[in-house]
Amino acid sequence: MDQVREYVFGTPTVDDKQMDVWVSFVGHYISTDYNAALRTREDSLIAYCCRGGGVLGMGAREHAFYEGDILLQPAHIPHTCRCDTETGWEVWWIIFGGQYAHKLLGLSSLHPMSPIMRVGQHERLLSCFQEVFSSLKEKGIHSQLDASRMLLVLLMELQKLHRKAHADDLQLLEHITYKTESLDQMVAESGYSKHHFIRVFKKATGMTPWSYVLHLKVDKAKELLLEKQYSVKQIACEVGMQNPLYFSRLFRKLTGVSPRQFRKDGKGIADF
């Protein structure tokens, strides 16, 4: 296995960091003897193992990873990392920061207690790592923006893969609509216990079942508010809320404006 050790630094500006996602370092290693001592970073590292494998150590636990695995080295957590001396490894990695980036990462199930995600050979993911590398290497005026954009694409691809892995769980959503009236109704239709239903649903979608339903109700209400013939009270009833005051409070909480203000502001929203 040929030895490769290439990397590029990025220097995010204040404006870059205000976007809440940035790339500070990206690299590509092919090695048979890599062995990093215990260390801690200010930013997190995400890597894709293309060949071989290795071991990521955090605290008292060691996590083995192999070809086709994504691994996370979280910020502010001491860790070690080494390649398998028999197989070596090829890895692409990105060091990044920003709360928004970390929130997206969390939606893919990667976190300090579960830092390995098995995705297999995935050309789209590999391309994302390579494009982040190429963007920073160009050192152009938009390099950081392009690198951050591709990082977001990468994190969203991981989220999609996580959801596909839980496709059976997502079948729970098939019978849920804006007309769904209660959590008990959802549980009864699922055939699960309430505790198991909530746990599986949240793992698959990132939100509680009832929060999901409330978002569906508000989405439908937005559509109806653009139709002049419906009053706010009628719309509340249509989406399954008999109390117009509660409906208005919920709508404001999720959108930032009242139903009437949304209708007023959105008169031309559906126009091309």
Question: Domain limits of the chain?
Answer: 4-165, 170-265
Beta bridge partners of 234: none
What pLDDT is stored for residue 57 in this prediction?
A: 94
CATH of region 170-265: 1.10.10.60
User: Residue 186 burial (CB < 10 Å; 0-12/13-18/19+)?
Assistant: buried
* This prediction's pTM: 0.68
pLDDT over 70 at 268, yes or no: no
Tell me the backbone φ, ψ of residue 83, rounded to 5 degrees.
-90, 160
pLDDT-derived band of residue 226, with 50, 70 and 90 as boundaries? Answer: confident
CA torsion through residues 223, 226, 230, 234, sign: positive
Give the highest mean pLDDT range of 56-60, 108-112, 186-190: 56-60
pLDDT over 70 at 166, yes or no: no
CATH superfamily of 4-165: Regulatory protein AraC (2.60.120.280)
Residues 6+ apart with CB under 8 A from 6: 27, 28, 29
pLDDT tens readout for residues 229-256: 889 999 999 999 989 999 999 999 999 9
What pLDDT is stored for residue 87 in this prediction?
A: 92
Residues 6+ apart with CB under 8 A from 254: 214, 215, 218
pLDDT-derived band of residue 140, with 50, 70 and 90 as boundaries? Answer: confident
pLDDT over 50 at 272, yes or no: no
% of the chain exceeding 70 in pLDDT? 94
